[in-house]
Amino acid sequence: MALQFGRLLGLFMFCSVLIAGNGQLLSPNFYDRSCPDLLSIVQSEMRRAVAAESRMGASILRLFFHDCFVNGCDGSVLLDDIPWLFVGEKNAIPNARSLRGYEVIDGIKARVEAACAATVSCADILALAAREGTTLLGGPSWTVQLGRRDATTASLNAANTNLPPPNGTLDDLISLFVSKGFSAREMTTLSGAHTLGFSRCVSFRPHIYSDADIDPAFAAQRRQGCPVAAGIGDDNLAPLDPTSPAGFDNAYYQNLMLRRGLLRSDQELFNGGSQDSVVMTYSNNAAAFRVDFAAAMEKMGGMGPLTWPSGQIRLDCKRVN
Q: Which DSSP category does 26 fall into?
A: P
Candidates 126, 133, 142; CA nearest to 58 is: 133
Q: Is residue 144 within 8 Å of 127, Cβ to Cβ?
A: yes
Q: What is the CA radius of gyration of the chain?
A: 19
Type of residue numbered 238: A
Q: Is the dihedral of CA 248, 135, 17, 22 positive or negative?
A: positive
Rounded Cα gap, residues 228 and 217, in angstroms: 16
Length of the chain equals 321
H or E element: which one contains 198?
strand 198-200
Residue 238 φ then ψ, to 5°: -140, 145
Gap between the Cα atoms of 60 and 126, Å rounded: 8
Which element (helix H / strand E) includes 238? strand 237-239
> CA 314, CA 53: separation in Å to the nearest integer?
27
Task: Measure CA of the first residue to CA of the last residue in the chain; give whole Å.
Answer: 48
Please state whether beta strands 198-200 and 237-239 pair in parallel, antiparallel, or not at all (unpaired): antiparallel
Helix pair angle (286-300, 122-136), 10° resolution: 170
Rounded CA-CA distance 42/109 in Å is: 9
Backbone angles phi, psi at 82, to 5 degrees: -120, 100
Q: Which one from 66, 222, 290, 314 is the annotated catalytic residue?
A: 66
Query: Is 66 among the residues known to form the active site?
Result: yes
Tell me the catalytic residues.
66
